[in-house]
Chain A
Amino acid sequence: MKIKCELNGRICDLPDFLTDFFANSTILYCSTISKHKRPHIQPTIFINEPGKCSIVFLANRQSSMVKNLYQNPKTSLTIDKVHPLNPFLNKGIMIEAITHINDSKEVINEILENFQRKYTLEVVSKILGIDILQNCVKIRSLPQKIVYWEGPIFKRFKCKKHKSFIA
């Protein structure tokens, strides 16, 4: 399935090697900025909105990550695949995104099914706790910039098509 992405005011389909990170990775590392201007990192499970490159994850409302995002919605999400021997075969993407937090139970309940489909109910409840609706918030992140790497070389992904309207 193709993933559409809006970057720098342009919309385009993500190439397959980038789509692979969104669709087939299980864990992402989320970096936020604390009120003391220090980076904070936390791994998390995630899903991407069908057909879109926006990433959605759930997090405990008491966690430092959520507290930081309430103060500064800018985040960097990193998904990588590490080769155990050859550094030239390491791959990954880093997405600079703006997050939107939603604590509505109905909204969380809607996406919970997608999480359970991807990770199973057991994994989701072990990681996010039993009372997800009560304790978690939904974080939706809209990419502003995508950087990817193969080996030591980093490149920025740019949409080349002109802006068009999507529903």
Chain B
Amino acid sequence: MKLGSMQPPKKYQFLQEQVFEGIWPFNKVRPPMNVFLLLILYFIWGLALFVYYDIPVYYFIAGISGVFGLFLWTIGIFSYADHLRNVQVERINSANKKFLTEFLENLFHPSSLVVSVLVFSFVITYYFTSTSFGFKSILVKIQYELNVSTLPPVFLLYIFLLTFDLCYRLGLSLYVILTQIRRNIRLAGYLKSPHLRTSFSPVDINNLEKMDYYNYLAICSSFALLPLGIIDLFLLYCLTLFIVLTFSLMLFNIVHLRILYSRSFPEGLLNLLHSAKLARVGTISKNKFPHLVPTLFVFDGRSIFIATSIASQKVKNLKYNTNITIFIDSQPDGDLTKGKGVLIVGHAKIYGHKLWIGIFYYLVRGFRMARLLMLFRRKYPNYISYYLKGQKNLPRAWQLFPIISRAIIEIIPDQLYFWKASRPTLIKF
């Protein structure tokens, strides 16, 4: 990632990525194939041990679930790292650049290893010292069940290597979440400052949230580790505690970032979004012409929603290309020169253009749909009452039947621009 034209590019990588880059045969294949290779190697090794030493099936199942969890976690965290590395830091304003660079420095800092080593030390100490199901230690229990006087070195190596790999990932997951929380606290501070808050666009914060989901996906792979509890109950408790802890922190993180997202909208923009009655919506048709029509809209604090007929050209265009733009403006006192507006460039999600998908969505997201209906009713009481009275003479496609004739289109902002009639060009936020 480039951190400015005067600085050499700095490579942000997690330790695991550096290991993959430096060790044969992982350095011979590109991600995610190197992760897949790791899965295959662990699997073959485990299978060989299972066949050769006649290991009980439940140990084999526990081992394979551990390897599978490892695989899913690595795919998730590598995707997260990849997305973060692709942020064009040099393109953004200086306050945002400083904030993001600091977050990246913290996230990829080698100190993340400390948490992993702590987790590993705890587990290894437990392996050697704690009693398990009446045995002196887990290792002695395994020794007994394998019916050997000492554990074979290849078997021990497999256990320790897999344990280290898992502990490293669990530790790193925790470290990443804590770093994200620290980042959000810092961001909250920036948003409180009147000078700095304009440096952070809601779109940037939304992008941070989207990227965080890759890490959450990685954390979800810890569920695949639960069968490891077959070996020892205490390990199962610890794993469950870890899952509860990370999921609670993850939830806290999501809620906090969502609050920050709604706080990052400037007051003027929020006023415009709530007060403007009409917007112009642009889509692209199949014959590559833009299509531009006025429409009613509501803003729910995150996205903009429009309601339209399922037979409308907008819906047809969006099935072909989901890119959508909405322009919302106002002209105080009807004066053309005082016109102000916002251009929101984004992508659309259509709810209800297919009957079954529509019904499914209304069932699953019923609360959100009810809220949207309320927002429309509150913003356009006259429009809706006139429409309901006059719709009898309209074709069915234009009547107000949710799902059957109406589709809701969510416009998720990707870019925001301010427009002023007195300025020839748009201002990017």
Q: B-contacting residues of A (Cβ < 8 Å)?
A: 26-27, 29-33, 36-43, 45, 59-60, 62-64, 72, 74-78, 80, 82, 84-88, 90, 92, 94, 96, 119, 122-123, 126-129, 135, 144-145, 149, 151-154
Contact B284 A39 (CB under 8 A): yes
Q: How far is the CB of B57 from chain A (nearest CB, A)?
A: 54
- Residue B153 at the A interface, CB < 8 A? no
Contact A126 B291 (CB under 8 A): no
- Chain B residues with CB under 8 Å of A122's CB are 337
Q: A-contacting residues of B (Cβ < 8 Å)?
A: 277-278, 280, 282-284, 288-294, 296, 309, 313, 321, 323-327, 329, 336-337, 339, 341, 343, 345, 382-383, 386-387, 390, 394, 398, 419, 421-422, 424-426
Contact A39 B292 (CB under 8 A): yes
- Chain B residues with CB under 8 Å of A151's CB are 390
Q: Can you spell out 12 A-B residue pairs with CB atoms less than 8 angstroms apart? A: A33-B288, A40-B282, A40-B325, A41-B292, A63-B426, A76-B292, A78-B292, A86-B382, A86-B383, A92-B294, A127-B421, A144-B289
- Chain B residues with CB under 8 Å of A32's CB are 290
Among A85, A90, A149, contact of B382 (Cβ-Cβ < 8 Å): A85
Contact A33 B290 (CB under 8 A): yes
Among A38, A87, A96, contact of B325 (Cβ-Cβ < 8 Å): A38
Which of A31, A85, A128: most chain B Cβ within 10 A?
Answer: A31
Among A37, A41, A153, contact of B321 (Cβ-Cβ < 8 Å): A37
Residue of B nearest to A30 (CB): B292
C-alpha spacing A88/B382, complex, angstroms: 11
- Chain A residues with CB under 8 Å of B398's CB are 152-153
Residue of A nearest to B380 (CB): A87
- With A31-B291, A41-B343, A85-B382 already in contact, the answer to whether A76 and B282 are too (CB < 8 A) is yes
- Chain A residues with CB under 8 Å of B339's CB are 43
Contact A31 B292 (CB under 8 A): yes
Residue of B nearest to A74 (CB): B289
- With A43-B341, A126-B421 already in contact, the answer to whether A94 and B291 are too (CB < 8 A) is yes
- Chain B residues with CB under 8 Å of A87's CB are 296, 383, 386-387
Known: A42-B343, A78-B293, A94-B292. 13 other contacts (CB 8 A): A29-B292, A31-B325, A36-B323, A72-B288, A78-B292, A85-B382, A85-B386, A86-B382, A86-B386, A88-B386, A145-B289, A151-B390, A152-B309
Q: How far is the CB of A152 from chain B (nearest CB, A)?
A: 5
- Chain A residues with CB under 8 Å of B313's CB are 154
C-alpha spacing A88/B383, complex, angstroms: 9
Q: How far is the CB of B91 from chain A (nearest CB, A)?
A: 15
Among A26, A82, A152, contact of B278 (Cβ-Cβ < 8 Å): A82
Residue of B nearest to A75 (CB): B290
- Chain A residues with CB under 8 Å of B284's CB are 33, 37-39
C-alpha spacing A119/B291, complex, angstroms: 27
- Chain A residues with CB under 8 Å of B326's CB are 41
Contact A41 B309 (CB under 8 A): no
Residue of A nearest to B313 (CB): A154
- Chain A residues with CB under 8 Å of B337's CB are 122-123, 126-127
C-alpha spacing A129/B337, complex, angstroms: 11
C-alpha spacing A122/B288, complex, angstroms: 37
- With A45-B336, A126-B337 already in contact, the answer to whether A31 and B282 are too (CB < 8 A) is yes
C-alpha spacing A43/B420, complex, angstroms: 10
C-alpha spacing A42/B423, complex, angstroms: 12
C-alpha spacing A25/B345, complex, angstroms: 26
Which of A59, A127, A145: most chain B Cβ within 10 A?
Answer: A127
Residue of B nearest to A95 (CB): B292
C-alpha spacing A80/B339, complex, angstroms: 16
- With A60-B424, A135-B424 already in contact, the answer to whether A42 and B383 are too (CB < 8 A) is no
C-alpha spacing A154/B177, complex, angstroms: 52
